[in-house]
Amino acid sequence: GAVVSQHPSWVICKSGTSVKIECRSLDFQATTMFWYRQFPKQSLMLMATSNEGSKATYEQGVEKDKFLINHASLTLSTLTVTSAHPEDSSFYICSASPGTPEYEQYFGPGTRLTVT
């Protein structure tokens, strides 16, 4: 149990375009979903936390207008990278929490984004 999927697993896009990444909890309802970014050889960086039906809480330094997060249901959250640039190329990972215990997170397999 506690499976989280992400789609797509990898994507290449041109600079200036937007890319949407989906995160789904397949066998549980996710009260909270988290979006992380990881650059090569670096640790996970939390970008934002989203609760179903409410606005996402962004970490300091993360542009909310550039990284649009929608958590429309208890099993789906999306991250849209708007007007992508090469420096946005990274590994984006989502995780989902059933809410009990509050800290328990299950990670998706990640999405590798390359902006050319």
Partner 1 sequence: GQNIDQPTEMTATEGAIVQINCTYQTSGFNGLFWYQQHAGEAPTFLSYNVLDGLEEKGRFSSFLSRSKGYSYLLLKELQMKDSASYLCAVIDSNYQLIWGAGTKLIIKP
Of residues 34-53, those binding partner 1 (CB under 8 A): 41-44, 46
Does residue 31 interact with partner 1 by CB under 8 A?
no
Could you tell me which of 106, 108, 109 has the C-alpha nearest to residue 2? 106
Nearer CB in complex with partner 1: 58/106: 106
> Cis before residue 101, ω within 30 degrees of 0?
yes
d(CA 110, CA 108): 6
Of residues 82-101, those binding partner 1 (CB under 8 A): 91, 93
CB of 57 vs partner 1, minimal distance in Å: 11
Q: What are the CB-based long-range contacts (under 8 Å, 24+) for 45-52?
A: 47/79, 50/77
Could you tell me which of 88, 78, 75, 73 has the C-alpha nearest to residue 38? 88
CB of 11 vs partner 1, minimal distance in Å: 15
Nearer CB in complex with partner 1: 74/93: 93
Chain positions contacting partner 1, by CB under 8 A:
41-44, 46, 91, 93, 102-103, 105-110, 112
